[in-house]
Structure 1
Amino acid sequence: MNQSLVVFKGVKGGLKVYINGDGDIEQIVEDLEKKIKGSRQFFGNSQINLIFTGKRLTLQEQQNIVDLISREIEVGSITFEMTNPDIPAADYFEFFDGIDEGMTRFVRGTVRNGQRIYYEGNVVVIGDVNPGGEIIAGGNILVMGTLRGVAHAGATGNHNAVVVAFSLQPTQLRIGGIIARPPEDESVKPSYPEIAYVKDNILVIEPYLPGKGK
């Protein structure tokens, strides 16, 4: 197959990556890896915001792509613009927009390595989320402890959702289709709660100040 499965196009604020739907995921990842490595000199040390479009990808396929790219270049935000009907039924919710109020699941105790929590509304963890633990919510995520695992709020595509934790140290943070990773050189962790939300299509993390709002 001579047709390129991955096409880069520079856009305002980042790089758009078109994925051809004709290839399987192994071919796509291989093509993407070659292009990323071949363009490393162009990217330099700057953080690059990436927007993926084209082939619909499962959550696991998106994760594999994020892991690959993060090993090769400095990544700012990663957005997947496609909807995702290919994900397993257990991972898919009807659209939920109860961001300010609505159904909420409370999880008491630590979310451990390998444990995955799914809920179509908001999720409140009264405890910690360990590395390898994962929270996926249609609404907001609140961790009344340390978040060291993966958090995906607004999983149905709602970018108004937020993630709040007493100590925000995630391995991956995602709101809607926008993904961000914490800086690897951030050795000193803040001693105050933080909130993550989407602003101008970028995932922002800042101190949580009650009463201030987003």
Structure 2
Amino acid sequence: MKGQKQQFVTIKGTKDGLTLHLDDQCSFRELVAELTDKLALNHSQGEDSPLLAVRLKIGNRYLTKVQEEELRTIIRSKKHLIVDSIEGNVITKAEALALKQKNEIVSVAKIIRSGQVLKVEGDLLLIGDVNPGGTVIAEGNIFVLGALRGIAHAGYDGNNEAVIAASMMKPSQLRISNIMNRAPDSSQKEVEQNEMECAYIDENETIVIERLQQLIHLRPNLTRLEGGI
């Protein structure tokens, strides 16, 4: 309609509470003024009404800690309203760096000897052996281009989708997330000396060792190349 004022705040009710869509192009002061007015008009709860969770969708706006707290204070000032989450598309440089570290492959060329521990964020690509008594730990996946005879712990922050692969899989212990598997008994089937293997958590929450060729079927989203392998 001609002359209609642009709305900076849109309030939508859901079964879980309220969702507030906040315009990301207007000034912060304009946003605060309209939010205050709309909450005053739309909020009329009785004394016995339950708490309503409020989700803020801020789009491409970056909020400082002070601005974020101001929005929380405005919403808290209304009885029975509590901020559940603030969701936006913008992250800080520190957050972007942390995300990059979690998703990058760290390449290391060395032998991990007894008593040594190598721990990385993201995936680990080790070009070398892990000797008995040596330990490699990664937040993501572990790939060893060499013999894995020591301890390997992938997905240490709770990632059950992480995998461990090695040119020679002879570990003293495997761990993925919080699941642990000791070295397989010598009575179990022998694998050819040159056959690469991978370990993963199956549907029974057990670590299973398979031929490396099965990895693409077990974890089809493992590759980061667009369009897959």
Q: TM-score, normalised by structure 2?
A: 0.47
- State the partner residue of 2:206: 202
Q: Which residue of 1 aligns with 2:138?
A: 137
**Quick check: 2:112–2:134 contact (8 Å CA) kept in 1?**
yes
Whole-angstrom CA distance in 2 between matches of 1:151 and 1:115: 12
Instruction: Call closer, same or farther: CA 1:123–1:186 in 2, change over 3 Å.
Output: farther
Cα 1:212–1:139 change in 2 (3 A) is closer
Q: Show the counterpart of 2:167.
A: 166
5+ residue gaps, structure 2, are 1-97, 219-229
What's the counterpart of residue 192 of structure 2?
190
Q: d(CA) in 1 for partners of 2:215 and 2:168? A: 19
**What is the rounded CA distance, in whole Å, between the counterparts of 1:97 and 1:189 in structure 2?**
38
Alpha-carbon distance change, 121 to 114 in structure 1, aligned in 2, over 3 angstroms: same
**Taking every aligned residue pair, what percent have the same amino acid on both sides?**
40
The aligned amino acid for 1:181 is R
Cα distance in 2 for partners of 1:138, 1:127 equals: 19
Mapping for residues 49-198 of structure 1, pairs under 5 Å: 102-186=103-187, 188-191=190-193, 192-198=195-201
Shift of 1:161: 0.2
Q: Give, as a single letter, the amino acid of the residue that structure 2 aligns with 1:165.
A: A
Post-superposition shift, 1:109?
1.8
Q: Over aligned residues, Cα RMSD in angstroms?
A: 2.3
Question: In the TM superposition, what is the alpha-carbon distance from 1:150 to its structure 2 partner?
Answer: 0.2
Cα shift at 1:186: 4.3
Residues 167-186 of structure 1: per-residue CA shift (max 9 Å, x gap) = 10000000000000122324
How many pairs does the alignment contain?
117
- What is the distance in 2 between the residues matched to 1:143 and 1:213? 20
Give, in angstroms, the shift of residue 130 of structure 1: 0.3
Question: In 1, are the aligned partners of 2:198 and 2:215 still within 8 Å (CA)?
Answer: no
d(CA) in 2 for partners of 1:134 and 1:175?
13
4+ residue runs over 6 A deviation? none
After superposition, where does 1:15-34 map in structure 2 within 5 Å?
none
In structure 2, what is the Cα distance between the partners aligned to 1:211 and 1:184? 23
Can you give the 5+ residue segments of structure 1 that lack an aligned partner in the other structure? 1-95
Q: Say if 2:127 and 2:146, in contact at 8 Å, map to a contact too.
A: yes
Return closer, same or farther for 1:170/1:102 CA change in 2, 3 Å cut-off: same
Counterparts of 2:99 and 2:179, CA distance in 1: 17
Structure 1 residues 115 and 198: alpha-carbon distance in aligned structure 2, compared to 1, 3 A threshold: same
CA contact (8 A) 1:139 1:154 kept: yes
Q: Is the 8 A contact 1:97 1:139 kept in 2?
A: no
Matches of 1:136 and 1:193 in 2, distance apart? 20
Q: What is the TM-score normalised by the length of structure 1?
A: 0.50
Q: Whole-Å Cα distance in 2 between the matches of residues 169 and 128 of structure 1?
A: 11
Q: Distance in 2 between matches of 1:164 and 1:186?
A: 22
- Aligned-pair distance for 1:120? 1.5
SS of alignment partner, residue 185 of structure 2: coil
Per-residue deviation, 1:103: 1.2
